[in-house]
Structure formats: C-alpha cells, structure tokens
Amino acid sequence: MIKYIFKRILMLIPVLIGVTFIVYFILALTPGDPVTIILGDQATEQSKEELREELGLNQPLLKRYADYMVGLLHGDMGKSYKNNLDVADQIMERFPNTAILALTAILIAMLVGVPVGIISAKHQNTILDRISMIFALTGISMPVFWLGLLLVIIFAVNLRILPSSGFDTSSIAAAARSLILPGIVLSVNSMATITRMTRSSMLEVMRKDYIDTARAKGVSERVVTFRHMLSNALIPIITVVGISFGNLLGGSIITETVFAWPGIGRFVVESIKMKDTPTVLGCVIFLSVMFSIVNLLIDILYAFVDPRIKSQYKLK
C-alpha cells in the first residue's frame, strides 16, 4: 500500500517538471519588453539595461528557467511587474477563496449528482429517468458564464435575495450567502457529469449475477442498492469526481470573473490584461500543480476502494 502511494508520488515529479517547463516557455513568448512594462516608456536606456541585468533577462532562456525552478522550490515565484509584490504571497492570499469555492461546488455536485444518478438507474426508462437525463445533458451543455449571468439577473437584480458579487466574509451567514450563486454555477457542469457517470456505472453493475444472488438470498433492496451495487459502481464515479474537481480549479476562472470572486482565477485574468507575466506564470503553475496533486489523491483513493490494487501490492 505504502509502496503504491510512494510510486504515485514519484511519478508526479517528472510531470510537474514538464508542466512548469511547458508553461514557462509558452509565457516566455509573451510579446512586449518586461522592462518597458515595469519602468514605462519614458525610462532611459541605461536604467532599462540595469533592470534587465537585475532581473536576469539577459541570460539565456534555459538558465532563466533553471533559476526560476530553484526559486520555486524555495517558494519564490518572483515579483509582480505591476506592483512589485511577491507573487507567491499574492497567490496564497487568494488561494483559500478559490479552494472554498471549488470545495463548495464539488460538494453540491456530489450531493445532487450521485443520488440523482442512482435514482435514475433504479428507475431506468421511466419518466423520472428521462427528466433527470435531460437535466444532466442540459447541465453539460450549459455555458457557465451564461448561467451565472442569468442567476444574477434573477436572484440579485430582480428578487434581490442574494448578493451578485464578491465574497463577504464579515460573518459566516454572509459568507454562506455569497457562496450560494457562484457555488451552484461552478457545480453545474460537474453535477451533470457525475449524474451521468453514476447512472451508467450503476446500470452496468445492476446486470451482474451477484446482484441476483444477493436478492435471492433475501437481502433487502436498500442493502442491495448501496452495499452491492454502489460500492462496486464507485470506481468510475470517483474518477469522474476527481476529474471534475480538477476542472473546477480551471473552471473557477470564469465563475470568479462573473461573480468578482477574490480568488486565483480572477487574479490570473486580470494579470494577463495587465501583461504581468510573473503573476500569470505563478498562477498557472500553481493551479496546474494543484490539479496534479488532486489527481494523485484520486489515484491513491483508488487503492482504498479497489481491492484489486491493494492485493496487487500485497503480493509483492
């Protein structure tokens, strides 16, 4: 078991190096001279040259990447071109907000998606199943930014019962209220995917002989559903929850922009518009690393859910 986890963690290292490498080189292509962005057009050639030297911009690209990686391992992501603040600090300041939003969304998605998927599968081809599948398909096809705007128009502008933007942390109740709309909006795509995956995974398991055996033994339908069906249908569901959670980190960019949420997603969009490359780089690398770590955790979770993996490593 520990060996399996250890192996997974080791496999993460080359992926992370690759991710930072790709992102660093893509963003190195950004047009515009950073020195001019920092000092403005009026700066003298000499002061520009000095700053260029100081930032190491005269170094070859690979050397700069190596330096950046060394800094990254020490938690240093450089300074913003715009306000000279520490990029890592600014990211850590915003990360809790993004994490809260993403966790809320995945929670909503799971709490709705899994039960609806189970009900749908148990009542296959009934009107109930049809309706939930139509909702799921609509959910997958829903542009999140549009849904966000519509909900704001309905609940914030017209009914005035929920705040339209921002994260009010003055009290727990206010925070919860400001989480409702963005949480729902961010969850919709994942909710739909989870519903569909739960349904199809349950349907597959339902056909198995051991389900008939369990029923023949006189096990109650509830126990059959949850112990025999769900626990065996769980692996694809976990996979899809994991993928969704990773996508939520990326998807939060749009949701955070719609709701002016003070998280990393909105931060990265603003930084791009201000041509603040170190900040963009830091945010993209940070979110990609988070994404990889979530995937790793999902892989480790498999080992607990899937006895086949466990036994595979016990034998060795």
Partner 1 sequence: MKENKATSFMQETDAPKERGLWLDVWTRLRKNKVALVGMFFLILLVVVSLSTFVIDLVTKESFYNNFVIKQELTEKLKGPSAGHIFGQDEFGRDVFLRIIWGTRYSLLLGVGATIMAALLGGAVGAVAGFYGKKLDNLLMRLMDILLSIPSILLSIAIVAALGTNMFNVMLAIAISYVPQYARIVRAAIMEQKSMEYIEASRAVGAADPRIIIRHIIPNAMAPIIVQATLGIAGCILSIAGLSFLGLGIQPPVPEWGGMLSNARQYMRDAWHITAFPGLAIMLTILSLNLVGDALRDALDPKLKN
Which is nearer to partner 1, 131 or 157 (by Cβ)?
A: 157
d(CA 274, CA 43): 19
Binds partner 1 (CB under 8 A): choice among 36, 225, 239, 257 = 257
d(CA 249, CA 255): 10
- Which residues 156-215 are close enough to bind partner 1 by CB under 8 A? 157, 200, 203-204, 207
Binds partner 1 (CB under 8 A): choice among 146, 210, 226, 304 = 146
Q: Which has the closest alpha carbon to 233: 127, 133, 122, 129?
A: 122
36 binds partner 1 (CB under 8 A): no
Binds partner 1 (CB under 8 A): choice among 59, 124, 225, 232 = 124
Are residues 263 and 101 in contact, defined by beta-carbon separation less than 8 angstroms? yes
**CB of residue 153 to partner 1, shortest distance in Å:** 5
d(CA 95, CA 1): 31
**CB of residue 273 to partner 1, shortest distance in Å:** 7
Q: Which two tokens stand for residue 313?
A: 């490593």
Binds partner 1 (CB under 8 A): choice among 3, 30, 210, 215 = 30
Stretch that binds partner 1, among 36-44, 51-59, 106-114, 139-147 (CB under 8 A): 139-147
**CB of residue 1 to partner 1, shortest distance in Å:** 24
Which is nearer to partner 1, 18 or 56 (by Cβ)?
A: 18
Q: Which has the closest alpha carbon to 120: 201, 222, 188, 185?
A: 201
Which is nearer to partner 1, 224 or 294 (by Cβ)?
A: 294
112 binds partner 1 (CB under 8 A): no
**CB of residue 91 to partner 1, shortest distance in Å:** 14
38 binds partner 1 (CB under 8 A): no
Which is nearer to partner 1, 16 or 175 (by Cβ)?
A: 16
49 binds partner 1 (CB under 8 A): no
Binds partner 1 (CB under 8 A): choice among 61, 70, 131, 137 = 137
In the complex, which residues of this chain contact partner 1 (CB under 8 A)? 14-15, 18-19, 22-23, 26-31, 124, 137-138, 140-147, 149-150, 152-153, 157, 200, 203-204, 207, 246-247, 249-251, 253-254, 257-258, 268-269, 272-273, 280, 284, 287-288, 291-292, 295
